[in-house]
Structures are given as structure tokens and as C-alpha cells.
């Protein structure tokens, strides 16, 4: 068992002022009115080109992001590394539409691969499919609509970007994780990623797909994929998450009158998540897994399973991942216990990462959930240092 309430370990890199600042920030994020108004004005400010960096940079940005470019993330990478917490650099441009933007993002991802190659604190690279592809195009491909010549060319460019990134990752020996997205584009993404997994995972788990376990079809998909990969003699590699788009998924399913792809309740998702982790660990010799969650119980269950199977804590095929600025009590305590742990470290110019920051803020608007836990632990540590 790992003691996630050990706040001495969890916050040993933060001084009192930093703890107080984090506490203040989570208090703000726990206030739904504040977050709604803040997000609304930030969106307007961006559209009307009003400056927002001066307020965002010293607050949410510095808490959740590594820096405005790769090199600016060095102090964060180094500091995390001192606690044996590793970094996954995440260029967080979202919602782009133009090929020029997608090419730029591709170059950024390739630069993160080069950075990872030279830095033992960076074990993986990552990218989000819609960082290199237009959402509406993927949607059209998924439903099997005829593409115009122009769209076919655009889709060919998307495939080239996916391939170029993975080819470069293979050349540098840096595993790459591909994020998962909404179900109405994920089938196309899965097809692209599967092809890359079959090509590049022959000698080692190099390309990771992401499975959202809030989808009730994913456990079966996982088992089926592992079987197919085994037949081809390649490694399976998955980042497991619960899934970030539940409300959107349910709303769309209701609107279009198809059954929601999401488990009917939270315990259903939790069960599917823990079953998937367990399945991967049972098959550790040819399945690599990254346990991407802020859920303490899921991490605890994974730790128990690792121990019951006599898998060494730092087995190269198992890692845990959390987002920078969240759940340090999980990351730092797991790392102190010898597990492979990473933080997603988003980076990019303040304006570029604003959609990511708004998502973070909106996801944290519940004192009852994750934010309540952060506040409780920060309070506990501040109290401990007083006594």
C-alpha cells in the first residue's frame, strides 16, 4: 500500500507561500460562479485581443503549465526529476483549423521527441490527434462520407503527420502516447493508431493508444486488440484514462437518438477502469500500460495488483501519470515508493493554452470531488508545518 495522505512527501518541494498560493487557487477553482465568469471573460478577451497574460500567467498558467516553450520548461522538468517524477511534454494547442497550424504542432511534437531523447527525465512524448488534424474532417471520414479531392488531400496530410511523428519517435527510441478524443472521431483515430502500433511495436512498446474506460465497449476492445497484436507478434501499449468528454458524449447521443457509449454510472466506469488495469498487468510481458488517473483507489488497486503478481515497482511496462498541478499526493508518494510516475506538463504561449486552462478550471469546479481533496491535503500540510 502507498500512503497517499503523506503530505510531507507530497508537498516537500513546495514552500509555505507556494502551498498557500495553491490553496488560494483551488479555492477559486472550487467556486463555480468565479470559474464561469472567469472563463467567459477570458474567451471574450481572446476574441477581442485584450491582454490576459498578466492575470493568467502568475495564477492558473504557472500552476498547470510548464512554460511558454520547451526550454522554458527546464526548471519544472528538473524539479520534478529531483523527486523521481518524470515529465511528458504536452504541446497544448487545441481547436486549430489550418494545415499550417497542424504542421507547426507536428514540428513541436518532433521537438519534444528530440528533447526526450537527450533527457532521462522525459520518458515519453505525447500528442492529441486534433492537434494535427481538423476535427470536422475526422468526423466526416468516420461516418464514411465521400471526401472531396481537397479533403482527401487534407486527410492524406493528416496520415503523413501521424506517420512522421511515430517514425521520428522510433528513430529516437522515444515512446509516444496518442491521446483519445470524442467517440465520433475516435474510430478513425483508432484505425490510424493501430496501423502505427502494428508497424512500430515489434521490438518494444513504442506507440501507445489511449482508452477511455467510461466507454462501455473499451474493455472488449482492449482484450480484442491484445489478441490481434499477439497474433502479429507485436507489443500492445495503452494509456488508460476514464475519459474527459462524458457530458458531450451523452448530450450528442440524446440529440441524435443513439445509445450513449458511456457507462451508465460512475461505479460502472470505475469497474471498467480497474478491470482494464488489471488485465494489462496480468499480461505485462507483452502489454505496456500507463495508468493515467487522479483516482486514489484505482492507483491503490494497481499497486496491490503489481505486488500480488510480483512485478517490480519500476517495471518498464508500467507507469502512472497525472497532470501537472494536480494530485501531487499521488504522484510524489508513488514516486517515493519506487514506481514509474510522470506528469503531463502542458506548455505553449499563454494564449495558445487558454482552451486547455479553461478545461482544467471547469473540471476542477467541484469542492466535493478532486478539488475538495486537494484543499484538504494542502490544509493538512499547512497545519503540520505550523505545529
Taking the complex as a whole, the smallest distance from the CB of residue 2 to ligand FAD amounts, in Å, to: 16
Cell 483508432 locates to: 190
Taking the complex as a whole, the smallest distance from the CB of residue 356 to ligand FAD amounts, in Å, to: 12
User: In terms of CB distance, is 57 or 266 closer to ligand FAD?
Assistant: 266
Rg (the chain; Cα; Å): 20
User: In terms of CB distance, is 52 or 332 closer to ligand FAD?
Assistant: 332
User: In terms of CB distance, is 52 or 242 closer to ligand FAD?
Assistant: 242
Taking the complex as a whole, the smallest distance from the CB of residue 148 to ligand FAD amounts, in Å, to: 30
Q: Are 296 and 10 in contact (CB under 8 A)?
A: no
Taking the complex as a whole, the smallest distance from the CB of residue 363 to ligand FAD amounts, in Å, to: 7
User: In terms of CB distance, is 42 or 322 closer to ligand FAD?
Assistant: 322
Position of minimal CB gap to ligand FAD:
179
Return residues touching ligand FAD (CB under 6 A): 179-180, 210, 212, 214, 241-246, 262-263, 265-266, 269, 292-295, 321-323, 344, 369-370
Taking the complex as a whole, the smallest distance from the CB of residue 307 to ligand FAD amounts, in Å, to: 21
Q: Are 326 and 295 in contact (CB under 8 A)?
A: no
Taking the complex as a whole, the smallest distance from the CB of residue 146 to ligand FAD amounts, in Å, to: 29
User: In terms of CB distance, is 92 or 212 closer to ligand FAD?
Assistant: 212
Taking the complex as a whole, the smallest distance from the CB of residue 224 to ligand FAD amounts, in Å, to: 20
Distance CA(315)–CA(303), nearest Å, equals: 12
User: In terms of CB distance, is 22 or 263 closer to ligand FAD?
Assistant: 263
User: In terms of CB distance, is 122 or 241 closer to ligand FAD?
Assistant: 241
Amino acid at each position: 500500500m502507498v500512503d497517499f495522505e503523506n503530505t510531507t512527501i507530497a508537498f516537500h518541494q513546495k514552500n509555505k507561500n507556494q502551498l498557500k498560493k495553491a490553496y488560494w487557487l483551488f479555492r477559486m477553482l472550487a467556486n463555480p460562479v468565479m470559474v464561469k465568469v472567469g472563463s467567459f471573460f477570458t474567451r471574450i478577451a481572446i476574441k477581442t485581443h485584450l491582454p490576459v497574460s498578466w492575470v493568467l500567467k502568475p495564477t492558473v498558467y504557472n500552476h498547470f503549465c510548464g512554460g511558454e516553450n520547451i526550454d522554458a520548461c527546464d526548471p519544472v522538468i528538473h524539479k520534478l526529476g529531483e523527486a523521481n517524477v518524470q515529465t511528458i511534454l504536452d504541446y497544448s494547442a487545441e481547436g486549430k483549423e489550418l494545415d499550417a497550424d497542424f504542421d507547426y504542432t507536428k514540428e513541436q511534437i518532433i521537438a519534444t521527441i528530440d528533447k526526450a531523447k537527450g533527457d532521462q527525465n522525459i520518458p515519453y512524448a505525447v500528442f492529441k490527434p486534433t492537434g494535427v488534424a481538423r476535427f470536422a474532417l475526422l468526423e466526416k471520414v468516420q461516418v464514411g462520407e465521400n471526401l472531396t479531392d481537397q479533403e482527401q488531400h487534407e486527410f492524406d496530410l493528416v496520415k503523413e503527420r501521424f506517420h512522421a511523428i511515430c517514425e521520428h519517435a522510433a528513430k529516437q527510441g522515444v515512446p509516444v502516447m496518442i491521446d483519445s478524443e470524442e467517440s465520433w472521431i475516435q474510430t478513425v483515430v483508432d484505425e490510424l493508431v493501430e496501423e502505427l502500433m502494428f508497424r512500430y511495436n515489434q521490438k518494444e512498446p513504442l506507440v501507445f493508444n489511449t482508452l477511455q474506460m467510461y466507454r462501455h465497449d473499451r474493455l472488449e476492445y482492449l482484450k480484442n486488440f491484445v489478441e490481434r497484436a499477439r497474433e502479429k507478434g507485436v507489443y500492445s501499449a495503452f494509456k488508460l484514462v476514464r475519459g474527459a468528454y462524458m457530458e458531450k458524449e451523452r448530450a450528442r447521443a440524446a440529440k441524435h437518438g443513439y445509445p450513449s457509449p458511456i457507462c451508465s454510472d460512475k461505479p460502472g466506469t470505475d469497474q471498467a477502469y480497474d478491470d482494464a488495469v488489471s488485465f494489462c498487468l496480468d499480461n505485462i510481458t507483452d502489454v505496456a500500460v500507463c495508468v493515467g488517473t487522479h483516482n486514489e483507489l484505482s492507483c491503490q488497486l494497481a499497486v496491490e495488483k503489481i505486488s500480488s503478481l510480483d512485478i517490480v515497482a519500476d517495471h518498464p511496462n508500467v507507469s502512472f501519470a497525472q497532470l501537472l498541478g494536480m494530485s501531487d499526493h499521488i504522484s510524489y508518494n508513488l514516486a517515493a515508493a519506487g514506481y514509474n510516475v510522470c506528469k503531463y506538463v502542458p506548455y505553449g504561449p499563454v494564449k495558445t493554452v487558454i482552451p486547455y486552462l479553461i478545461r482544467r478550471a471547469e473540471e476542477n469546479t467541484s469542492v466535493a470531488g478532486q478539488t475538495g481533496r486537494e484543499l484538504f491535503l494542502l490544509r493538512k500540510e499547512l497545519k503540520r508545518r505550523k505545529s
